Amino acid sequence: MTKDFAQLAVNTLKGLAIDGVEQANSGHPGMPMGMADLATVVWTKFLKVDPSNPRWIDRDRFVLSNGHGSMLLYSLLHLSGFPVTMQDLRQFRQWGSVTAGHPERHLNLGIEVTTGPLGQGFGMGVGLAMAEEHLRAVFGPDLFDHRTFGFVSDGDLMEGISAESSSLAGHLGLSRLLYYYDSNGISIDGPTSITFTEDVAGRFRAVGWHTLEIDGHDRDAIEAATLEALAVEDRPSLIISHTHIGHGSPNRQDTSGVHGAPLGEDELKLTKELMGWPDEPFYVPDEVRAYFSQSMQRGREARQEWLDRKDELFADQPELAALWDSHFHPKPIELRNPGFEPGSSLATRAAGGKLFDQIATAMPGFLGGAADLVESTKTVVSFSGSFSVDDRTGRNIHFGIREHAMGAIVNGLAVHGGLRPYGATFFVFSDYMRPALRLSALMAAPSIWVYTHDSVFLGEDGPTHQPIEQLASLRAMPNLWVVRPADASETIEAWELALNRTDGPTVLVLSRQALPVLERIGREGLVERGGYIIREGDHVVLVATGSEVSVALGAAEKLAEAGTSARVVSLPCWEAFFAQDAPYRAEVLGDGLPIVSIEAASTFGWERITGAAGLNIGIDRFGASAPAEIIARELGFTPGAIAERVSDWLNGL
């Protein structure tokens, strides 16, 4: 009887997927048809979720890394009782619908992460599993006892990020991570054999995974393999599931044509006829709704039992309840100045490093690491160990030289809940992380990105390591806040801004070279407003960020000697500045005063600040290999050179 219901469920998932794609005249029906058997077994027999409370923290996480098959996820959520309605399914890929072409994170609907760019879901799943392991070690298995399940595709495994992520997951022995690999042998351009012939099982075993190989349409085999994988306690598991893309389509099964296009009216009718399915769009038998509802009872009961345990534990251990609140209901962070005195000099990366223990003490959920660059990025919590097989409580994560994976994993940690993760590397290597940066912004994930060696002034390493276009590029990304502090004191406030921002990611861009600690009496706390006047002036406005603020102040001194009163504005965060009201922005930038921007990077975008008539002083070329002071002299970033250029420009107005 159960198998009859399971087959009905499989047919329902296939029917909803092909109907949704057909109605939208857009989408990917092949994967949902091929993975319907796997989805039915995983969701009805193993996944522990409660549709009445999609945000329950101890729920299992499900990641559809092959997000092009989104109709499969939407159909599962609908049938399971999550608030994805039949109308939502009918509005697949339409304006304003929650059923977008690829899944977009929406916890109230049961969508854990935004996927579609292949490999990103794979990496985020690793981050979700790491979050569970850490919180389980901190709070105990009575409060954290969930798993991460994921569907992955050939495309996910071809993308290099999956190699990086699987390597780290195997090294860390993330045994509560289980992926089902949809091995259907077809990609958009044709058979995968034209590009992808590696031994996948051998590859994953080599990096420490437990692997199994099954027929992905044999539901008994799927269940048996899952039970075997769940019993493995020292490594993650990959179940290689051989499936037929477009399973059940008489003329399109096992073809690349079924990957990314509707079946078409004739083939849709033939497919439903072959399944013995009514020729009725979006047909769902009552028995299938009941079958999924009964299956979800497992999660509903588990959540109630969890609530009872939680209440008992907190009543007996008030310190545990307090620790819980610090992770899940953190208070706004206010950092104290550890002794950064005006007149001294300190690199902003070093200033950030001096804050780490203070941050970690105030925010117990703060954890992260660098891509093998901790000594350079100064990102370490000194009183905590390393997150490892032997110590899951460690708050220092060694990502290795894996920037791609680090980005996705940090996002997984961030969206899990209860943690405030960061990832660090040189600013120029943010290019390796761009897909993850973009998804963090799209998901509104509170990831923190720490980038050091922020300009050409890192010196002798030369153009390959000197960022030029990165600031402009990241500022162009919606919902990503980019903060480049001018000195150690601004760095304190930059970290406060990043830690207290919960509706999206923040990038901290920090210097390698020492910068003078500026006199900011009366201007404390203004970094959160994005920009502020650090020196008054009436004739011209010099707007700068980061290390160039002190250069602008020096230039203002020289201009003053020649009778020109220059206002200097520090603009550490454009996004925060543009979030201020118009009167404040006008007050800072002056009313009709000529404006000059000064930044050792691409000038692209600065016209938003200076206007079409302004002067933008930057570096619209690649850097050079030389000591920082030589670079500054040759590229015109000394106070004298800036003052001369501003004077010439003003004289020409």
Return d(Cα 69, Cα 34) in angstroms, integer: 10
Q: What is the DSSP string of 167-191?
A: HHHHHHT-TTEEEEEEE-SEETTEE
Return d(Cα 505, Cα 446) in angstroms, integer: 5
Candidates 146, 183, 168, 61; CA nearest to 110 is 61
Cβ–Cβ under 8 Å, residues 373 and 426: yes
Return d(Cα 508, Cα 491) in angstroms, integer: 9
How would you class 592 by CB atoms within 10 Å of its CB: exposed for 0-12, middle for 13-18, buried for 19 or more? exposed
- Helix (H) or strand (E) holding 89, with range, is helix 86-90
Candidates 306, 368, 425; CA nearest to 131 is 368
Cβ–Cβ under 8 Å, residues 105 and 114: yes
- Report residue 586 as tokens: 């006008």
Return d(Cα 447, Cα 410) in angstroms, integer: 7
- Report residue 333 as tokens: 């962070």
Return d(Cα 564, Cα 577) in angstroms, integer: 26
Give ∠ CA 20-102-475 in degrees, rounded to 5: 150
Give ∠ CA 445-526-411 in degrees, rounded to 5: 10
CA 74 to chain centre: 22
Return d(Cα 35, Cα 196) in angstroms, integer: 20
For the chain, what is the largest distance between any 2 Cα atoms, rounded to a whole number of angstroms? Answer: 92
Return d(Cα 154, Cα 167) in angstroms, integer: 17
Catalytic residue among 104, 112, 403, 496: 403
Cβ–Cβ under 8 Å, residues 484 and 427: no
Q: Are strands 448-452 and 506-509 parallel, antiparallel or unpaired?
A: parallel
Candidates 249, 60, 64, 262; CA nearest to 155 is 64
Cβ–Cβ under 8 Å, residues 102 and 116: yes
DSSP 8-state symbol, 507 = E
Backbone angles phi and psi of 187, in degrees to 5: -125, 180
Cβ–Cβ under 8 Å, residues 573 and 500: no
User: Helix, strand, coil: what percent of the chain each, to 5?
Assistant: 45, 15, 40
403 is catalytic: yes
3-state secondary structure of 238: strand
Catalytic residues: 403
